[in-house]
Amino acid sequence: MTQKGQDDSTFPEGELTGGIIGAFYECYNALEFGYFESVYRRALVVELQAQGHSCVQEGLIEVLYKGVCVGTFRYDLLVDGKVLVEVKATDVLAPIAKRQLLNYLRGTRIEVGLLLHFGPKPQVFRCVNS
């Protein structure tokens, strides 16, 4: 998991993740800290769709064990079918949030994910499921 600052061109889906991160900061700067996660997710969708991206909100993930569904989860956002985005809006980002994103990547077989924290100080984490 890496934080913002890494060269976008060296990261898988670097151009797309760079655009999503830009949209995140656009939303954060306009709304600031204090809203529910759902508000930030919807604002992010508005911003990304205005930039021409397709977005799926709250998609279902099935966890399979030996071909049997043993659990289900919902991810926050899938952008252009390539980058899974998990949105958090808490005072403090719990360490489990990064593990949650990695589990979602494994469950969807998507390679790249972003954890966007709309907290008192905005934070971005990139994750690759290799």
User: What's the CATH code of the domain at 55?
Assistant: 3.40.1350
- Say how far apart CA 99 and CA 72 lie, in whole Å: 16
Residue 31 pLDDT level (bands cut at 50, 70, 90):
very high
Residue 123 pLDDT level (bands cut at 50, 70, 90):
very high
Containing structural domain, residue 100: 2-128
Number of structural domains in the chain: 1
pTM here is: 0.89
